[in-house]
Amino acid sequence: MDWWHDALDYWAKAFGVGWTLVEWPPSHTDVPRFGWCQSEDGWLLRLDEGRAIRFLDWNAPEQVRSALAWTLRQLAQAHRSGSERPVGQAYRSCREMTFAELTVAVARADNRDDRRDWGALMQKKFPGYFVAIEWTARHANHERQLEEDADIARHVTEAVLGSGWHEFEAGGPSLLVFLSNDDLAAIECDGAASTSTCAQPFPQLLAVAEQLAAAVRAEAFVDARVWVSMPVMGLHRISSALASLQLTARMGERHNRTYGVFGDDPGLYLVSVVDALQWNVLQAMLTARAVQPLTEWPEGWRELTAAMLKANLNASEAARSIYVHRNTLLARIERLHEASGFDVRRGEDAIALYLAACSTPQQVASS
């Protein structure tokens, strides 16, 4: 019997109303989970992506319908908490770890001694990925607002990821889901140039993470971020994958990113593990040849460096990526060369400029 059945029966008997389980009409995709819509045959309460409860000949006031939706929402949350607690607890533990502790946890990749019962995850097909959708709560102490934001995030996640994902209780303004590689392959890439690009998991993960973060921001009007873990190859890799998810989130937050996939930018990890004293020496080395101090380098030099690196030091490709003429880009490269002593067209110099771009106090690891 489904988790909602008994509670719904009590409500129906109390109000003397009949109900039936039906398919959710595809014409009402904008209604979130536990939201209501009125059809020709009566009120519909959305249970999940594909199912709804239809109430026959029931004209209940809005307050009563809201109370029923609230009851089922709380039961759903309790159901998730009970059945998915091991995964959620493990991820919450990762949130409490220092950067150094997360590093150790990720390095312990083959943890075959971990015999924990991972609940529903033990029935999933591997490989797969953990995805964390996080947002800044508008009213931190308003439980109803937090749940409404979570419902919107779930609705958006269904729209972007389809029906293959599985949610685990993470706590706070966030969702933690698992997506198998097979389900990832079934997702259409947003604006992808070719099918062959989508067939490779990593670029598709980046595209999906970016799309999901943008969609949650647009629908929920919150500051949303999306992080993706390392591949989960089996049950023995769950702990390290959860640690990699939090490590990716920690690095992304330090560098003001809104989405990230573990392994997307290994340089971020290197600059995150350098302590304050080492940063002082590194900054001194980076500015030793400069004519001007780093704070006075030409405006936009970080954007220029990132564009050149992503374009494999191809000036024409870099110019197109930031929407400037090639001659304009070359002039900016020369000005940066004169100020910094580094020519971003050379591989070694581009790496040095990348390190300089990352060398800000808030990006230094505190552990």
Tell whether 291 is covered by a domain: yes
Higher pLDDT pick, 292 / 192: 292
pLDDT of 49 higher than 80:
no
Please provide the distance, in angstroms rounded to a whole number, between the alpha carbons at the two ends of the chain: 48
Q: Are residues 215 and 315 in the same domain?
A: no
Higher pLDDT pick, 184 / 39: 184
pLDDT band at 211 (very low <50, low <70, confident <90, very high): very high
Of 244, 264, 284, which residue sits at a domain end?
Answer: 264
pLDDT of 198 higher than 50:
no
Domain carrying residue 48: 5-82
Q: Are residues 170 and 42 in the same domain?
A: no
Tell whether 269 is covered by a domain: no
Calculate the CA dihedral of residues 24, 26, 31, 37 and round it to 10 degrees: -60
Q: Taking each helix axis from N to C terminus, what angle separates 347-358 and 326-340, rounded to the nearest 10 degrees?
A: 70
Angle at the Cα of 242 from the Cα atoms of 240 and 245, rounded to 5 degrees: 110
Tell whether 236 is covered by a domain: yes
Tell whether 172 is covered by a domain: yes
Q: Are residues 39 and 175 in the same domain?
A: no
Q: Are residues 149 and 297 in the same domain?
A: no
What is the pLDDT averaged over residues 153-171?
Answer: 82
Of 217, 246, 264, which residue sits at a domain end?
Answer: 264
pLDDT, tens digit, 9 for 90 and up, residues 214-256: 999 998 888 899 999 999 998 888 999 999 999 999 999 888 8
d(CA 186, CA 125): 14
Q: What is the pLDDT of residue 360?
A: 54
pLDDT of 89 higher than 80:
yes
Contact 290, 329 (CB under 8 A): no
Tokens of 87: 């995964």
DSSP letter at 188 equals P
Residue whose tokens read 């199912």: 51
Q: Are residues 117 and 257 in the same domain?
A: yes
Task: Specify the pairing of strand 224-228 against strand 259-261.
Answer: parallel
Contact 85, 117 (CB under 8 A): no
Tell whether 313 is covered by a domain: yes
d(CA 350, CA 342): 8
Closest to 168 (Cα-Cα) out of 273, 111, 241, 66: 241
DSSP letter at 186 equals T
Q: Are residues 333 and 222 in the same domain?
A: no
pLDDT band at 331 (very low <50, low <70, confident <90, very high): very high
What is the pLDDT averaged over residues 186-195?
Answer: 56
Q: Are residues 112 and 49 in the same domain?
A: no
Contact 211, 160 (CB under 8 A): yes
Radius of gyration of the chain (CA): 25
Mean pLDDT over the full length of the chain: 83
Q: Are residues 62 and 103 in the same domain?
A: no
Tell whether 23 is covered by a domain: yes
d(CA 286, CA 84): 48
Look at the alpha carbons of 131, 137, 138, 143 in this order and tell me if their dihedral is positive or negative. Answer: positive
Q: What is the tally of structural domains in the chain?
A: 3
Element (H, E) at 23: strand 18-23
Per mean pLDDT, which of 36-45, 69-78, 351-360 is the most reliable? 36-45
Tell whether 221 is covered by a domain: yes
Q: Are residues 226 and 292 in the same domain?
A: no
Q: Which of 33-37, 143-147, 244-248, 336-340 has the lowest mean pLDDT?
A: 143-147
pLDDT, tens digit, 9 for 90 and up, residues 96-106: 999 889 999 99
Q: Are residues 102 and 171 in the same domain?
A: yes
Tell whether 69 is covered by a domain: yes
Tokens of 361: 């106090």
Q: Are residues 207 and 151 in the same domain?
A: yes
Contacts of 62 (CB under 8 A, 6+ apart): none
pLDDT of 362 higher than 70:
no
Angle at the Cα of 69 from the Cα atoms of 159 and 35, rounded to 5 degrees: 35
Residue 222 vs residues 38, 162, 229, 325: alpha-carbon distances, Å: 28, 22, 23, 35
CATH of the domain at 171: 3.30.70.270
Per mean pLDDT, which of 53-67, 73-87, 110-124 is the most reliable? 53-67
Length of the chain: 367
Q: What is the pLDDT of residue 1?
A: 46
Q: Are residues 242 and 256 in the same domain?
A: yes
Of 82, 104, 132, which residue sits at a domain end?
Answer: 82
Closest to 53 (Cα-Cα) out of 89, 11, 102: 11
Residue whose tokens read 């374009």: 311
